Amino acid sequence: MVYTAFLTLFSHWRRHPGQLLALVAGLALATALWSGVQAINTEARTSYAEAAARLGQDQLDRLSRADGRPVPLADYVALRRAGYLVSPVITGEIRQGDARLRILGIDPLTAPPEAGAPALDGGDIDLASFFAPPGVVLMTEDTARSLPSGLPPILFRDGVPPNAAITDIGTAARLLDQPDPSYLLVARHQPSGLPPLAEATDLRLVSPGTDNDVSRLTDSFHLNLTAFGLLAFAVGLFIVHAAIGLAFEQRRATVRTLRALGMPLRGVLIAFGVELAGLALFSGALGLILGYAIAAALMPGVAGTLRGLYGAEIPGTLSFDPVWALAALGMTMAGATLAGAQALRRTARMPILAPANPRAWAQASARGMRVQALAAAILLITGAGLALFGGSLLTGFATLAALLLGAALILPAALGLILRLASGVARGAMAEWIFADTRQQLPGLSLALMALLLALAANIGVSTMVGSFRGTFIGWLDQRLAPELYVTTTDSEQAARLLTYLAPRTDVILPIVSVETTLAGRPGEVFGQRDHATYRDSWPLLQALPDAWDVLATGNAVLINEQLARFADLSLGDPLQIADGVTLPIAGVYSDYGNPAAQAIVTLDRFAVTFPDIGATRFALRLPAADAPDLARALREEFGLSEDAVINQAQIKRFSLDVFEQTFRVTGALNILTLGVAGFALLTSLLTLANLRLPQLAPVWALGLTRARLARLELMRSLILAALTFALALPFGLALAWVLLAIVNVEAFGWRLPMTIFPLDWLRLFALALVAAALAALSPALRLARVPATTLLKVFAHER
Amino acid sequence: MNVKIWTVCISLLATPLCAQGFAGLGTEAQGFAMPERPALFSFPTDHGPHPDYRIEWWYLTATLTGADGTDYGVQWTLFRSAIAPGDSQGWDTSQLWMGHAGLTTPDAHFSAERLARGGIGQAGARPDPFAAWIDDWAMTSTAAAGADALDALTVTARGPDFAYDLALAATGPLIFHGDGGYSVKSDQGQASYYYSQPFYNVTGTLDLPDGAIAVTGQAWLDREWSSQPLSDQQDGWDWVSLHFDNGARLMGFTLRGSGGGAYSSATWISPDGTVQSYPDGALTMTPLAQTEVAGRTVPTEWRIELPDRGLDVTTTPLNPQSWMDVSVSYWEGPIRMQGTHPGRGYLEMTGYD
C-alpha cells in the first residue's frame, strides 16, 4: 500500500523533471559548498595536528625561555642531573632564497614516548649514521622537491610535516649552528619524590593548548571558511525549501485522491518521508563528489594562503576522510528534513476532504511578518552591541551572523513597506494592481529574496574588504619596499666579500639583521636596521613621537609593528623588553600587513650589542633603478648566488601580491558560488509561483491584458524586487565590510585597514543581481506568454 | 621514534647478546681498541671510561636486609656504548650511555632505564674524583685520599615509583678475573677486561611506594670493557655473583652457545682476597626449575657446582619475577644458596626471548 502510494507520489517527478532537478541541485549545491569547506578545514587541521603531534606539542608541556632565546645546554643538563625527565629539541628554519626547510632536531634517547619521533626501524637507517655526523634527515618526498643546499643524506618518511625535516638533535645543532636547545619537552610522568618542576627552574613552563601554536593562529581563517560554508548551505536550503514546497502544492490533489481511496495518513507521510530521504541521500552523495572537487580545486590556494600568511605548512592535496563524508551527508539529511518539515506538517494536517486548492502558498499573516521584523530588530541590536562591546574573533563573527540574519529576516517587512508606500503614490488601476500583486507574492518569494540578499550583502562586504585591503596593501608595499635590490648571502665570510664588491657599485648598502624571539609573550622577531633616509622617508608609521627616527637613531628606543601594539596593548612611550635585560621605550608603531607575528626594530648598533652572535647576511641595496638588473646579474655570476638570493624589488612585490591574491581567491570563489546559488533559489521560487499564480492572473487576462504583456510585467516585477533587495543589501554589505575590517581583521590578523568604498563594484553587482533575477524570471515569464488560453479559461471553469 | 628498536641495539652493544644483533659487532671491531694480554691496569684512570673500546659497564648488585629481616636486592648499572672510537664534546659525541636500576622485594620488582648521549655532561664517568652518572643516578666515590677510589661509594637511582640511596664501604681489595683481568669469553678468543670490587658492606635507604626502609647488606661491583666480547655463536648468558656465609665469594658465568654448547668461567675469591680463576668447564650451572616470567620461560632455580672447591649449591630467587622491564629485558635478582656453601648472591640471565 505504502509502495503504491510512494509510486503514485513519485510519478510527480517524472512529469516535472525540472523540479526534480531543482531539488537535487539545491541539495547537492548546499552539500557541496558546505562539505567542500569542511574538507579544506579538516585537511588543514589534521595537518596541524600531525605537525604538533610530531613533537608531542599537543600533549606535552614545554620549557622555554621567557625571551624566546634558546635554553642554555647547561640548564638542560642541570635539569636532567636533578632527575627531571625533559628532552631537548633544536628547531629552526634554513632559508635559501625561496627554499625553506624547518629542521626538527630531537633527542631520541630522552624523547618521551608521546613525542612520536620517527621510527628508525625502516631498514634503511643505519643507527650509527643517524647519530654520527653528518647524520641523516627524514622528510616526505614532496618536501624534498625544493631544498636548501648543504643537507646531510635524505631519507623519505611519510608522516613528516610538509617542508620540515626530522633529524637527530646533533645534526640539527650543526645545520642550524645552534648548540642550545630551542625548548625542552617535559615527560608527562616525572619520577617520584622530586619537587615540582616549576620550582626547579627559571624557564617558562608552557602547557599544551596555551601556546601560540599554528592552529590557534589559523583559527580565524578556518572560522572564516566555515562561516562561508554555512552561508552557502543556508542559501542552498532555500532552494530545497522552494522545490519541496512546490512539489507538495502540486501534489495536493494526488494526496487527496489517495486519502479518499482509503490510504491512511501514516502511509502517505511514510511515502513522503522515504521519498525525501532517498532524494537527500542521492543529492548528498552528488554534493559530496562536487564538494570534494571544489575542495581539491581550492586546496592549493588555501595551502598558499596559510603558508604566506601564517607560515603554517599543509599539503596542497586532499585526502578522503569517511568521517567527513558521513558528517556532510548527515548535514544534508538534517537540512532536507528542515526544508521538508513544513510540507510534511501541512500534509499531516490536511483534512481528508478539503478542496485541493493550490494557493500561492500560505499567505504570511501580518502578524507573522511583525514577529519576524521584531526578531530581525533584536538581532540587529544584538549585532550592534556585539560590535561595540565584543572583543574577540568569536564575537566578531557573531556580529556578522547577527547582522546577516537580521538583514535577511527584516527583508520581507521592509519590502512590504516599500511596496505599500509605492502603491500609495501609484496612479492608475494597472500600477496599483502591480504593486498589490507584488506584495501578495512576497511571502512566496521572500525566502528566495532573503537568499539573494545574503549573497549580495556578503558580496558587497567581502569585495569592499578585499578592495580596501588591496589598495592599502599595494600603497604600503610601494612605500616599504624602497630599496632596489635585496641580497642574501650564505655566510658572514661571503657577506664580507660581497660588501667589498658592492661598495663602489651602489649608493647605499643597508644590512638587515633579525632574530626570532619572544616579544610581550608572543613569538616575534627583532630587526636591526641602519638609520637612513630610505627608512625615514618611506617607512609607514601609524603613530610616532614627533622625532621618532632621531630617538630611534640614538639606539635607546624601538619601533614596533601594529600587530604587537594591538596584541600587547602597547602605545608610544611604553617599555618593551627585546632581550634579557634590554628594555626600550616605543618610539613609533608601523603598519606591517601580511605578517601575523610581533615585530620590533632597533638600530643596527643596538642589535649588535644585544644579539652579538647574529651577523648580517641579508642586505638591501640602494642604487639607480636602471642599474638594478645588471647588478643582480653580476652578483649572481660573480658570487655564484642563486636566482633566489638576489631579488629585486619588483619580484618581492609580485610575490607579496601573489600571497595576497591567494588569500582572497578562496573567499572570492565562494562568493561567486553563493551568488549563483541565490540566483538558482530565485528561479525555483518563481517556477513554483508561476504555476500557482494562474488563478490570480486569469482575471487580469480576462480583463484584456495580453499574455505577452502579463509576461513582461512578471519579468519587470522580478527586476523591481531584485533592485529593491539590492538597495537593502547595500547598507548591510557595507556594515559587513566594516565589521570585517574593524573587528574581524583586527582580531584575526592584528591590523586595521582604512575602509575604501568602490561604487563601480556596486554597479557591477547591481547589474549582476538584475541579470540573475531576469534569468530566473525568464523561463516562468516565457511559459506565461505561451500558456494556452484554455489553461487560463480552466481557472474559471474549475470552480475549485 | 621507536626507542625500542634503537635501544635493542645499544643494549646489544652493551650486553653479550650483541653477538646476534648488531652488524659487525660479533665479527669485527672497526677501528676500536681490542683487549690484549697481559692486562695492564692503571688506577684511578681505569675506573673511568675507555672511549676507544666499544662497550663498557659499571655494574653494581647488592643483597640487602631490612630491620625486620626482609630480604631485598638492588641493581645499579651504567652502560657505555660507542658508535665510533674516541670521544668528543658536544652533540657530535660518539658515546652513548644507558642506565638500568632495579629493586627487588619478596613480592615486587621495580626497574627503570635512562638513556643519554655523552659529550654534554648529562651522562658519563670520570676517574678522579671517581664518579659515574646518568641524569640524577650516580655512583660517586667517597673514598679517603690515598685509598682506591672504589673503596667507598654512594650510589643513588630513582624510578617512577622507587628510589634508593646506598653507602658502600669495601673491606677487601679489587680482584681481577681471568688472566689478571683479561677475561676470555669464548674458545675463539673473544675477551674483555674485567675486574671487580666484591667486598662491599652496605647501609642505605630504599624508597618504596609504602615508605622508606633502612637496609644493610653486601654489594659487588663489576667493571668490564671490550670491543668484541662475544662470539657470534653465543646467544645469551647466565651469570652469578655469590657471597658465601664463610666469607668466600664466587663469580661464575656460562655463555650459552646457539648450538647448545656452553662456555663457562669462574673466579673463586677467598675471604682474604686471594683469587683463583677457573677455565671453561670447571664450573657447571644446571637449571632446576623454570618460571613463567613476562611471557617467557626462565630457569630461576639452579644447581651450581665447582668440584675443585667442593662447591655444590642450589639457588632460589627472592622473587622469581625479577624481570627487568627495560628496552632489552632480562632477568636479574637476588638469590639464596643452600647446600655445601650457603649464602646470598645475584643472578643475571639474558637472552631468554
Q: Which residues of B touch A116 (CB under 8 A)?
A: 1
Residue A516 to residue A511: CA distance in whole angstroms: 17
Residue A514 to residue A598: CA distance in whole angstroms: 13
Does residue A240 have a pLDDT over 50? yes
Which of B5, B117, B207 comes nearest A109 by C-beta? B117
The DSSP output letter for B179 is B
For strand A522-529 and strand A598-603, is the pairing parallel, antiparallel, or unpaired? parallel
* Cβ separation B6–A120 shorter than 8 A: yes
The torsion region of residue A549 among left (phi > 0), alpha (psi -120 to 50) and beta comes to: alpha
Q: Please write the tens of the pLDDT for every residue from B298-345.
A: 999 999 999 999 999 999 999 999 999 887 789 999 999 999 999 999
A92 min Cα distance to partner chain B (Å): 16
Q: Please write the tens of the pLDDT for every residue from A475-509.
A: 777 767 777 888 877 777 778 888 888 888 888 88
Distances (CA, A) of B233 to A111, B56, B182: 34, 21, 21
A126 min Cα distance to partner chain B (Å): 10
Count the neighbouring beta carbons within 10 Å of the beta carbon of residue A614: 15
Mean pLDDT, residues B137-157 taken together: 94
Torsion sign, CA atoms B256, B260, B261, B264: positive
pLDDT of residue A408: 84
* Cβ separation A189–B160 shorter than 8 A: yes
Does residue A73 have a pLDDT over 80? yes
State the maximum Cα–Cα separation within chain B, in Å, rounded to a whole number: 54
Does residue B190 have a pLDDT over 80? yes
Does residue A582 have a pLDDT over 70? yes
For strand B130-134 and strand B163-170, is the pairing parallel, antiparallel, or unpaired? unpaired
What is the share, in percent, of chain A residues with pLDDT greater than 70?
Answer: 81
Q: Which residues of A touch B6 (CB under 8 A)?
A: 108, 120, 127
Mean pLDDT, residues B232-248 taken together: 88
pLDDT of residue A353: 58
A179 min Cα distance to partner chain B (Å): 7
pLDDT of residue A437: 82
Residue A723 to residue A715: CA distance in whole angstroms: 12
Cα A458 vs. chain centroid, distance in angstroms? Answer: 13
> In chain B, which ranges are continuous DSSP H helix?
3-14, 18-21
pLDDT of residue A115: 64
Residue B154 to residue B141: CA distance in whole angstroms: 7
pLDDT of residue A307: 63
**Which residue in A623, A619, A647, A620 sits closest to A633, CA to CA?**
A647
- Best of A77, A81, A189 to substitute, by most chain B Cβ atoms within 10 angstroms, is A81
Local confidence band at A363 (pLDDT 50, 70, 90 cut-offs)? very low
Mean pLDDT, residues A525-540 taken together: 81
Does residue A52 have a pLDDT over 70? no
The DSSP output letter for A60 is -
Q: Which residues of B touch A193 (CB under 8 A)?
A: 158, 163, 207
pLDDT of residue B179: 92
Count the neighbouring beta carbons within 10 Å of the beta carbon of residue A425: 8
Q: Which residues of A touch B9 (CB under 8 A)?
A: 127
* Cβ separation B9–A113 shorter than 8 A: no
H/E element, A713: helix A707-739
Local confidence band at B168 (pLDDT 50, 70, 90 cut-offs)? very high
* Cβ separation A132–B6 shorter than 8 A: no
Q: Cα–Cα–Cα angle for B57, B62, B67, nearest 5°?
A: 160
Residue carrying the nine cell digits 596593548: A569
Local confidence band at B176 (pLDDT 50, 70, 90 cut-offs)? very high
Does residue A54 have a pLDDT over 60? no
pLDDT of residue A213: 47
**Which residue in B61, B56, B55 sits closest to B347, CA to CA?**
B61
B305 min Cα distance to partner chain A (Å): 41
Whether the upstream peptide bond of residue A695 has omega within 30° of 0, thus cis, is no
Which of B6, B90, B133 comes nearest A108 by C-beta? B6
Does residue B106 have a pLDDT over 90? yes
* Cβ separation A119–B96 shorter than 8 A: no
Q: Say what angle helices A649-692 and A759-785 make with each other, to 10 degrees.
A: 30
Mean pLDDT, residues A702-712 taken together: 86
Residue carrying the nine cell digits 683469587: B275
Mean pLDDT, residues B182-204 taken together: 90
Across-strand partners of B110? B103
**Which residue in B10, B18, B5 sits closest to B234, CA to CA?**
B18
Residues 6 or more apart in contact with residue A65 via CB below 8 angstroms = A71, A203, A204, A518
Choose the weakest-confidence range: A736-740, B244-248, B273-277.
Answer: A736-740
Local confidence band at A666 (pLDDT 50, 70, 90 cut-offs)? low
Residue B334 to residue B323: CA distance in whole angstroms: 11
> Which residue of chain B comes nearest to A87, CA vs CA?
B116
Q: Please write the tens of the pLDDT for every residue from A114-163.
A: 665 655 544 556 667 788 788 888 888 878 887 888 888 888 877 777 77
A109 min Cα distance to partner chain B (Å): 5
Does residue A360 have a pLDDT over 50? no
The number of residues in chain A equals 800
Q: Say what angle helices A694-702 and A649-692 make with each other, to 10 degrees.
A: 70
Is residue B28 classed as helix, strand or coil in its secondary structure? coil
- Report chain B's C-alpha Rg in angstroms: 19
CB pairs under 8 A between A and B: 92
Whether the upstream peptide bond of residue A112 has omega within 30° of 0, thus cis, is no
Report whether B276 contacts B179 (CB < 8 A).
no
Q: Which residues of B touch A71 (CB under 8 A)?
A: none
Local confidence band at B268 (pLDDT 50, 70, 90 cut-offs)? very high
Torsion sign, CA atoms B139, B142, B146, B148: negative
**Which residue in A362, A456, A368 sits closest to A408, CA to CA?**
A456
Does residue B5 have a pLDDT over 50? no
* Cβ separation B163–A192 shorter than 8 A: yes
B68 φ, ψ to 5°?
A: -90, 10
Report whether A443 contacts A412 (CB < 8 A).
yes
- Best of B4, B30, B32, B91 to substitute, by most chain A Cβ atoms within 10 angstroms, is B91
**pLDDT: is B56 or A191 the higher one?**
B56
Is residue B158 classed as helix, strand or coil in its secondary structure? strand
H/E element, A541: strand A541-544
* Cβ separation A173–B90 shorter than 8 A: yes
H/E element, B127: strand B123-127
> Which residue of chain B comes nearest to A105, CA vs CA?
B91
pLDDT of residue B246: 95
Q: In what order do the strands lie in the sheet with A164-168?
A: A154-156, A137-139, A164-168, A99-106, A86-96, A183-186, A61-64, A204-206
Residues 6 or more apart in contact with residue A302 via CB below 8 angstroms = A40, A44, A314, A666
Mean pLDDT, residues A395-422 taken together: 84
Task: Kindly list the structural domains of chain B, giving each domain's residue range(s) and its CATH number in brackets, ordered by start.
Answer: 3-27+39-350 (2.40.370.10)
Mean pLDDT, residues B6-20 taken together: 35
Residue A579 to residue A70: CA distance in whole angstroms: 12
Give me the residues of A, 23-82, that contact B with CB < 8 A: 73-74, 76-77, 80-82
State the maximum Cα–Cα separation within chain A, in Å, rounded to a whole number: 102
pLDDT of residue A235: 65
A172 min Cα distance to partner chain B (Å): 9
Local confidence band at A518 (pLDDT 50, 70, 90 cut-offs)? confident
For strand A558-561 and strand A582-590, is the pairing parallel, antiparallel, or unpaired? parallel
Does residue A679 have a pLDDT over 80? no
A199 min Cα distance to partner chain B (Å): 17
Report whether A419 contacts A443 (CB < 8 A).
no
Local confidence band at A412 (pLDDT 50, 70, 90 cut-offs)? confident
Q: Which residues of A touch B3 (CB under 8 A)?
A: 108-109, 111, 113, 117
Q: Which residues of A touch B158 (CB under 8 A)?
A: 83, 191-194
Mean pLDDT, residues A525-548 taken together: 82
Local confidence band at A21 (pLDDT 50, 70, 90 cut-offs)? confident
pLDDT of residue A100: 73
Burial zone of A53 (CB within 10 Å; 0-12 exposed, 13-18 middle, 19+ buried): middle
The DSSP output letter for A365 is P
Choose the weakest-confidence range: A82-91, A557-566, B40-49.
Answer: A557-566
B170 min Cα distance to partner chain A (Å): 27
Residues 6 or more apart in contact with residue A442 via CB below 8 angstroms = A364, A412, A415, A416, A419
Local confidence band at A643 (pLDDT 50, 70, 90 cut-offs)? low
Whole-number mean pLDDT of chain A? 78
Residue B54 to residue B22: CA distance in whole angstroms: 12
Count the neighbouring beta carbons within 10 Å of the beta carbon of residue B27: 11
